[in-house]
Copies of this chain bind each other. A is one copy, B any other.
Amino acid sequence: MNQCVMKDMDTIIQEIVKFRDERDWEQFHNSKDLALALSIEASELLELFLWKDNEDFNLDKLKDELADVFMYALLLANKHDLDIKKIVLEKIKKNADKYPVDKAKGSATKYNEL
């Protein structure tokens, strides 16, 4: 069988939406503020690394902040009925054009300077 009865993504979204609706918070969740919240959470995740070496971070705090990032990203995707697998696979295709293997391999250079 290759059909999932319960997909991971849907389970998570279900719980996030339940949490939101128990508190009647959908009224605040316009797209601009969801994007704003997502950006703020990404910044809180980044703060775990401030003044620190590249792998010097608190794992429990990383889990918490990364979870917050996923929550707002999933709320925004859910609001506009976006299929996450679909949009990510499509963006990977676009990125493949911007960063052809022969030009980009082993290089961190941005595409407009390749």
B40 touches A57 (CB 8 A): no
Copies of this chain assembled into the complex: 4
Contacts of A49 in B (CB 8 A): 31-32, 35-36
Q: Pick the residue among B36, B67, B74, B91 that contacts A36 (CB under 8 A).
A: B36
Contact bitstring A10-49, B, C-beta under 8 A = 1, else 0: 0110011001001111011011110111111111111111
- Residue of A25, A53, A71 with most partner-chain B CB within 10 A: A25
Q: Point out residues on A near B: beta carbons under 8 Å.
A: 1-2, 4-9, 11-12, 15-16, 19, 22-25, 27-28, 30-33, 35-55, 57, 59, 62-64, 66-71, 73-74, 76-77, 80, 82, 84-85, 87-92, 94-96, 99, 101, 104-106, 108
